[in-house]
Amino acid sequence: MTTTSTVPAVPSQRSVLERLLRPHSIAIIGASPQFGKVNGRPLKHLLDKGYAGRIYPVNPKYTEIAGLACHPDVASLPEAADLAIIALPAREVEACIAALGRRGIGAAVIFSSGFGEMGAEGKLLEQRLRRCADEHGVAFCGPNCLGFVNAFDKVYATFSQYADGPTSAGPVAFVTQSGAFGTAIAALATQRGLGLGYFINTGNEAGVPFSDLMLSVIEDPRIRVAAGYLEGIRDGEGLIRLAERCAELGKPLVLTKVGRLAAGARAAASHTGSLAVGDEVFDALLRQHGVLRARNEEQMLDMLEALCSERAPQGGGLGIATQSGGAGVMMADRAEELGLQVPELAPPTRAALAAVLPAFGSSNNPVDVTGQFVGNPDLLRESVVALLQDPQVDVAIVWLQLMTAYVDLLVPIFQEIRDRTTKPFVVCWVAAPPDALRRLRAEGIVVFGAGERAVEAVAALVRYHQGRRLAAGRRDERASLQAAVRQVEGPAATAQWQAGVQPTLQASARLQSAGVPMAAVALARSADEAVAAWRGFGTAVVLKIESPDITHKTEVGGVLLNLRDERAVREAFATLMQRAAAARPQARLEGVIVQPMSSGQMELAIGVQRDPHFGMVVMVGIGGVLIEVLKDVTFRLAPFSQAEALAMLEELRMRALFDGVRGAPAVDRAALAGLLSRLSVWAAAMRPWLTELDLNPVLVGPQGATAVDCVMVLEGPPAAPPA
């Protein structure tokens, strides 16, 4: 899909989403003169708000509505309008779509409910709708949606309550899967003076999905920030494309997705691979692509306010100027928790502050300007200017409260601070007079009502710009990773295997050749072979039962450790075969796996899973067998670079272990990251076939990383397996 940001002369050459979202003409199917009703409201809004395009009401009951000619049906429309708004009962929608197609109208927004949200019958109706639209070449938003607003071009193709109030066009595009919640968020945005250039409710998303709508609106040069509210993922790859495109355009994307825990609850506890589920994968995708996640609507709006700032912080140094020492401490604490720095100020800054501050103020950061600035405005102005000029300060927060009688004094001070500085700053004005908020926002000055929230929003702004600086490098990485994936895909497509749990020897060899260091391994089909393998390794060994039908060997007592002599090995072979036969009489027993005993400084677990929405996902966690208790894990979508893998390791809670504790040396992070990156390339290439991979434990020490145990599950191979 391509879109253009200028409006070409010939409408029909514009992309279908261009015509849908920025129509030059609109037909309202089922239009009504009753402006309070769902089918009356869009026309009212279009007229009230001054839509400049052509409007065609369609309804056989009327010849005219609000002074506009009303057409009896779609066929008799005087032109193929860019967009049709469908406000008909569900049972009439399919025929309408067909009529639109025949009339050459290629884009529609369908308000009608009674589809997928209404049980089996509704789902069937929705399937038919989708098929009909495909056949007739009609792209549509909905059904069961509130429609959308393009406030720039005064397109009010909606019956949402949101359009009732004053709606100002602005740099934010907001696309929401929920109608009710989305409307509330849009109303809250308006209350804060955040202008929404687009407000789109996607409803059932039977037609154009969330990501395509968002991809279209972010191309609009009038949009600077994108925000989305999601209840589920319907198009994972579209979401990845959207994240990539936002990064290319340098437009921040903020997403709120509900259902953070529901997916987690489904996770089976027995597989480490299965720790990679739903929400964690979504979260990984966002981190990987520099998308900000807001946990709720308030955080989303806070982030949007900060992101609408024209100024970008060059680092994470936060300067705080405050009227209350305690508020300063609270904000500094929160900043530290969120990874910002609250730097010591440079001597010239401190000298400049000391020159203006009263004796009981503080020229440390946080700078306590005290309440004296009411009598002496210089105090506030010069303090904040000095703070922003400090080389370690990248962004500042100015905290004050009430000052109801001093709005006229304070607003110009903030304007002057803005004019005399180049770094971003935000005002936190607790219990502010409404007039102060309005006037500061009109000046483009970002203002919050609570200190911790101001810090959280600033942290998001810093995180976004840090991510952006890294993103350029990532684009080159992506090309070379894709090339690496293609190199692996070729051999994989001609290989042969049986579907199911792979024999340890083959799985191990496959990973070894993919660049994953594997512990030595031998298969013994008899006690004699086990003894021979033990002799060959020349060290204590571990024996593990080998069967395609036994994935979790420890559950059948199928592992015996630290076998040091012939008798022990011989007995262990017999014991394992007996135990397995007793526990799983139906299991095919191939013998036992013999491995040298190995130990590392740290035990990790690494898993690969195929996510239905996003593809292959690699997990790494600290803790080996305790991984499910420790839950110290993190995820990335495959493929990813070694640099990305290093960033991944830094997300682990117990990352201090990598540096060695209590005198232990640092482990080889680079080797581990290399293993993860190569594994991710292999996993991406094996996407059609790899169901699950579980490396646990992976032992890591100062000399590198080695996977000791692996469970690999493959689907049927590209070529037929040998009989």
Residues near a second copy, by CB under 8 A: 113, 117-119, 161, 164, 177-181, 183-184, 187-188, 191, 229, 231, 258-262, 295-298, 323-327, 329-330, 332-333, 336-337, 359-360, 371, 401-404, 430-431, 450-453, 554-555, 625-626, 628-630, 654, 656-657, 661-663
Residues 197, 201, 202, 208: is their CA dihedral positive or negative? negative
When the beta carbons of 430 and 577 are compared against a second copy, the nearer one is 430
Q: Are 56 and 81 in contact (CB under 8 A)?
A: yes
Residues 367 and 319: their CA atoms lie apart, in Å, by: 8
Write the DSSP assignment of 477-542 as a string of letters.
HHHHHHHHHHHHHHHHHH----SEEPPHHHHHHHHHHTT--B---EEESSHHHHHHHHHHHTS-EE
When the beta carbons of 248 and 336 are compared against a second copy, the nearer one is 336
When the beta carbons of 184 and 540 are compared against a second copy, the nearer one is 184
* Residues 162/165/168/171 CA torsion (nearest 10 deg): -20
When the beta carbons of 200 and 527 are compared against a second copy, the nearer one is 200
Neighbouring residues of 355: CB distance < 8 A, sequence distance ≥ 6: 382
Q: Are 707 and 695 in contact (CB under 8 A)?
A: yes
When the beta carbons of 176 and 641 are compared against a second copy, the nearer one is 176
Q: Are 407 and 447 in contact (CB under 8 A)?
A: no
User: Distance between alpha carbon 318 and the CA centroid of its chain, in Å?
Assistant: 26
- The CA distances from residue 638 to 83, 233, 393, 485, in Å, are 39, 18, 37, 10
CB 323, min distance to a second copy, A: 5
When the beta carbons of 172 and 484 are compared against a second copy, the nearer one is 172
Tokens matching residue 128: 């038919």
Neighbouring residues of 334: CB distance < 8 A, sequence distance ≥ 6: 451, 452, 455, 456
Element (H, E) at 95: helix 90-103
Whether the upstream peptide bond of residue 358 has omega within 30° of 0, thus cis, is: no
When the beta carbons of 143 and 503 are compared against a second copy, the nearer one is 143
Residues 510 and 491: their CA atoms lie apart, in Å, by: 11
* Beta bridge pairs of residue 634: 620
When the beta carbons of 7 and 582 are compared against a second copy, the nearer one is 582
When the beta carbons of 324 and 504 are compared against a second copy, the nearer one is 324
Q: Which of 398, 392, 390 is nearest to 446 (CA)?
A: 398
CB 321, min distance to a second copy, A: 13
CB 383, min distance to a second copy, A: 15
When the beta carbons of 116 and 290 are compared against a second copy, the nearer one is 116
Q: Are 163 and 157 in contact (CB under 8 A)?
A: no
Neighbouring residues of 165: CB distance < 8 A, sequence distance ≥ 6: 187, 190
Residues 87 and 271: their CA atoms lie apart, in Å, by: 49
When the beta carbons of 7 and 661 are compared against a second copy, the nearer one is 661
When the beta carbons of 485 and 699 are compared against a second copy, the nearer one is 699
Name the residue type at position 337.
E
Write the DSSP assignment of 424-484 as a string of letters.
-EEEEEET--HHHHHHHHHTT--EESSHHHHHHHHHHHHHHHHHHHHHHHHHHHHHHHHHH
Q: Which residue has the tokens 């198009």?
A: 235
CB 358, min distance to a second copy, A: 9
Q: Are 58 and 65 in contact (CB under 8 A)?
A: no
CB 241, min distance to a second copy, A: 24
Q: Are 594 and 504 in contact (CB under 8 A)?
A: no
Residues 432 and 403: their CA atoms lie apart, in Å, by: 7
CB 460, min distance to a second copy, A: 17
CB 628, min distance to a second copy, A: 7
CB 14, min distance to a second copy, A: 33
Q: Which of 343, 393, 380, 334 is nearest to 365 (CA)?
A: 343
* Residues 679/685/688/689 CA torsion (nearest 10 deg): -50
When the beta carbons of 131 and 295 are compared against a second copy, the nearer one is 295
When the beta carbons of 493 and 654 are compared against a second copy, the nearer one is 654
When the beta carbons of 57 and 228 are compared against a second copy, the nearer one is 228
CB 523, min distance to a second copy, A: 25
Alpha helices, H only, 204-261: 210-218, 236-249
When the beta carbons of 334 and 381 are compared against a second copy, the nearer one is 334
CB 72, min distance to a second copy, A: 30
CB 262, min distance to a second copy, A: 7
Whether the upstream peptide bond of residue 697 has omega within 30° of 0, thus cis, is: yes
CB 180, min distance to a second copy, A: 4
CB 212, min distance to a second copy, A: 20
* Beta bridge pairs of residue 707: 518, 698
CB 330, min distance to a second copy, A: 4
CB 694, min distance to a second copy, A: 14
CB 135, min distance to a second copy, A: 27
